[in-house]
A and B are shown apart, each in its own frame.
Chain A
């Protein structure tokens, strides 16, 4: 039998403290105050005295949909890119290893905003693809490099003994990777992928610069014609906050479920 205890080896990839913290079980946790506070504030603004805010809430919903589309499309595609590059990073083939490492180094060395411009307009020169798809590809290409490092760390966190045991049982390297290592590694990388998802949701606002009509773009369009800058960006910030808090809760619940599964 494979020793499952070893899958708990923790790896830390993330950009901040997890909200909510697992041990935080009081009634007024930071998460609850932020989440419900934001929702109550939204409702108050929308149905309060001023009509201005309601007009903004009516203007932006299709932008929220585009933000979701970009985020989910980019996270799925970046997992594909990341898995391929991550496997490449631990490959013993020098060419594959070199290519994957080059990809990771180059992408991580260029600011996301610059990459978005570059990929979006570079893609446009050679092939005709719709704007949202171009934005998704650009985001996924960037995030794939970070995903690659997560997958590499995750795979390397599985003790060497496992692959040796699998090989000695007569499995091929590919079989050992597919049936023994990757299923275990996947559990290890899920939490950091969750973090990446939240980070990507926030970074997806950058695609507004590419004229993709996401939440931020819709807000900017509204503000630029009504000049209600303060009101508009208050609403936009609150909507982003509610979305990220909601998903971070969902991801932490998912993690707990996974840990209970053992």
Chain B
């Protein structure tokens, strides 16, 4: 018995000492769905990299916190925030009214738009509306899906990952994909498997801002991150990150 008591006292002591040490630099856990290149993705070394990752690291440095990234599937990424598995989400999350009703956002840190990609064999389509009676894919629960659903007569198909939507378009099962501009550029202009098959049509047709998501009411973290975002923008670090990943 006595040995257990001694051990537990020792454990408590160690635990309190380590928390005290960590309290000096606050650490936050951040979820990201690393299937959204070039914003967030997993590189050949299984490391999570991308625009958002560099950006948040820069913000964290300015705000004086440490960041730990957690790769999380997009479908359910908000549910994980609800249940407290992480403190924030940085995953190309567009700030929308529906999302703002349930979660808190930082200030927008970059702006993008939705854009349509079709196979090169399609010579006529310029907008989603031109694809009436056809199938258009997007990643589940994204603003892309919401845009597709707005157009009557177009069948919306949702995928767990945007990459699967592009692969299905390569197989001829769908006739278009809608996603964020930088992601579209990555898949349709840079990926060598798809470069000859797909093309981006028209201009981005929405104006959206990405924000970092935190649990409703977590004012402390929002303020901290906003402070960091301001500093990063003031120092023009974000433009450097932009040229590095988006070109």
Contacts and interface: CB of A to CB of B under 8 A. Distances in A.
12 contacts: A121-B167, A124-B170, A125-B171, A128-B173, A131-B157, A131-B173, A220-B158, A224-B140, A224-B141, A225-B98, A229-B76, A229-B82
A128 B79 contact: no
B141 A221 contact: yes
Given A124-B168, A221-B140, A225-B145, A213 B102 contact: no
Interface of A: 121, 124-125, 128, 130-131, 134, 209, 211, 213, 217, 220-221, 223-227, 229
Contact of A217 (B98, B158, B168, B171): B158
B165 to A, nearest CB: 7
B164 interface: yes
Contact of A211 (B79, B82, B141, B159): B159
A38 to B, nearest CB: 24
Contacts of B145: 221, 225
Interface residues of B, number: 26
Given A128-B171, A225-B98, A211 B146 contact: no
B98 A131 contact: no
A208 to B, nearest CB: 9
Contacts of B146: 225
Contacts of B159: 211
Contacts of B74: 224
Given A121-B171, A211-B137, A211-B159, A224 B75 contact: yes
B171 A211 contact: no
Contacts of A221: 140-141, 145, 158
Contacts of A224: 74-76, 140-141
A220 B171 CA distance: 24
A225 B98 CA distance: 8
Interface string B24-39: 0000000000000000
A220 B73 CA distance: 12
A110 to B, nearest CB: 20
Interface string B96-128: 001100100000000000000000000000000
A223 B168 CA distance: 23
Interface in B163-186: 164-165, 167-168, 170-173
B75 A211 contact: no
Nearest to B139: A224
B43 interface: no
A229 B145 CA distance: 18
A211 B78 contact: no
A124 B159 CA distance: 16
Contact of B157 (A213, A220, A225, A229): A213
B160 interface: yes
Given A124-B167, A224-B75, A211 B172 contact: no
Instruction: Give the most central of B98, B137, B146, B164: most A CB within 10 Å.
Output: B164
Contacts of B75: 220, 223-224
Nearest to A233: B79
A211 B167 contact: no
A170 B75 CA distance: 64
